[in-house]
A = this chain, B = another copy of it.
Amino acid sequence: MEEKYVREITAKSEDFSQWYVDVIVKGELADYSPVRGCMVIRPYGYALWENMQKLLDRRFKETGHKNAYFPVFIPESLLRKEAEHVEGFAPEVAWVTHGGQEELSERLAVRPTSETIICSMYSKWIKSWRDLPVLINQWCNVVRWEKSTKPFLRTAEFLWQEGHTAHRTEEEAEEETLRMLEVYRDFVETELALPVIKGRKSENEKFAGALRTYTIEAMMSDGKALQAGTSHNLGQHFSKVFDIKFLDQDGKLKYVWQTSWGVSTRLIGAVIMTHGDNRGLRLPPRVAPIQVIIVPIFGQQREEILAKSKAVYQLLKENFRVEIDDRDEYTPGWKFNEWEMKGVPVRLEIGPRDLAQNQMLLVRRDTGEKIQVKESDLENYLNKLLEDIQTNMFKQAKKFMNDNTNTATNFEELKELLINKRGFVKAMWCGDSECEKKVKEETTATLRCIPFEQEEISDRCAICGKEAKKMVYFAKSY
């Protein structure tokens, strides 16, 4: 029974890409829609996103941010105001040209990101140093007309949050940029159990219109990098173009310093690809839509076992996200596989013997370990167990990341590692974007980031041999 079910999803080791799509579609996280490149996020996937939203939103509010909502449409002229920005986004914009029967006098972009529309409002709202800082976040949908798409990772439409702040000084903007990067790191590592490398993007890889882009980079279990969140110091690029000036305390008119930062439903893709295994999803307890699934094993005492299962459900539902699978049309074995595939962290079985002995069996999704627990200890034990699973999943992912991070000191090594071995490669870099481009051309890997945590591997650039400035990470990426 078990084998049959597992066979329904492609083995991860066999075809990672097909496995990824299988667990999403069969695990009912998302589905393909009749609109090219757009997916439907199904209730199970959306509940995961809601849990992520709550934990992030709380962090945003704790750091003084407020939510707001800006129009989904951006007039073409507004989008075109900042040159670098429009160059970065124009090729993937969806354009509205008609409203009802009428052709519009100006095309409207469906927002690919909201810097321009938000800046146009900030220039109206910000007058004095007393109005600063402005700390606004928006939860919304954005559209980027991508050629090739993949659920959660790259879709024509996706959900995200975008923070947009304005400050008095460059230092304050830089502090904010780094504060929000740290909020992302903390969120992603603590709640999603995804270890990340914190660092800065190179000039080539930074956001279109930013002064500096910071990133957290995660490693998927095929060794590829995924940019899990970015935080941009926009400098005064936008404030000069959109004329966002304030009267400072010294009586002078100055341009504000800005930041923007965002994470998206891509993070769901990262959770899947980091933690999943041949049996399907493994969801971190802190964000799992269902933390505990109760499966009654009926046998002869159907009524008593069902009653006990429901009593346990009632007990647990105050403090845990718990569900009970009392469907008659499926065997326990089928259910075990189903809930394993859906990544539920703990399965709770109640059978005739458990009933007699006032105990139940807990099965961990992360390790498969089975634990007999007395009913009286259940809640305490579960609390600890879920924490333990969370910690263990982080450790496993961290170990995988370490095991798959290699070091190169010259170009041959770097090429060899990037082409033939999965994972990240650490190497010294002279800072020249020509060296960066050479790596990309010959290996398809990119410079993921200049990590805050520097090591001195050598004093020479691994690509050109000139004097090295920084240690950087290279990797193929999503």
Contacts and interface: CB of A to CB of B under 8 A. Distances in A.
A47 B117 CA distance: 20
A179 B31 CA distance: 29
A42 interface: yes
Interface in A103-122: 107-108, 110, 117, 120-121
A50 B31 contact: no
A40 B97 contact: no
B68 A40 contact: yes
Contact of A66 (B31, B43, B96, B98): B43
Contact of A98 (B49, B97, B329): B97
Contacts of A69: 40-41, 46, 49, 159
Interface stretch (A86-94, A191-199, A340-348): A86-94
B120 A34 contact: yes
A319 to B, nearest CB: 17
Given A38-B71, A41-B69, A68-B43, A94 B94 contact: no
Nearest to A41: B69
A30 to B, nearest CB: 9
Contact of A46 (B35, B68, B93, B100): B68
Interface stretch (A139-147, A229-237, A468-476): A139-147
Contacts of A143: 72
B145 A99 contact: yes
Contacts of A157: 71-73
A464 to B, nearest CB: 36
Given A35-B108, A94-B96, A46 B67 contact: yes
A100 B96 contact: no
Contacts of A66: 43, 46-47
Interface string A150-161: 000000110100
A141 B156 CA distance: 16
Contacts of A97: 95-98
Contacts of A50: 67
A380 interface: no
A329 B145 contact: no
Contacts of A42: 68
A73 B145 contact: no
Contact of A71 (B35, B46, B68, B71): B35
A140 B117 CA distance: 19
A108 B117 CA distance: 23
Nearest to A136: B43
A96 B159 CA distance: 19
Interface in A283-321: none
A119 to B, nearest CB: 11
A33 interface: yes
A124 interface: yes
Contacts of A34: 75, 78, 117, 120
A101 interface: yes
A91 B101 contact: yes
Nearest to A91: B100
Interface in A1-49: 31, 33-35, 38-43, 46-47, 49
A33 B68 contact: no
A130 interface: yes
A47 B57 CA distance: 12
A159 B145 CA distance: 23
15 contacts: A31-B121, A31-B124, A33-B121, A38-B71, A40-B121, A46-B67, A46-B68, A72-B143, A73-B156, A73-B157, A93-B100, A95-B97, A96-B110, A99-B145, A99-B156
Given A35-B73, A94-B96, 9 more contacts: A31-B121, A34-B120, A35-B71, A38-B72, A43-B136, A95-B96, A96-B97, A97-B98, A110-B110
A-B pairs with the 5 shortest C-beta distances? A38-B71, A43-B66, A99-B145, A41-B69, A95-B98
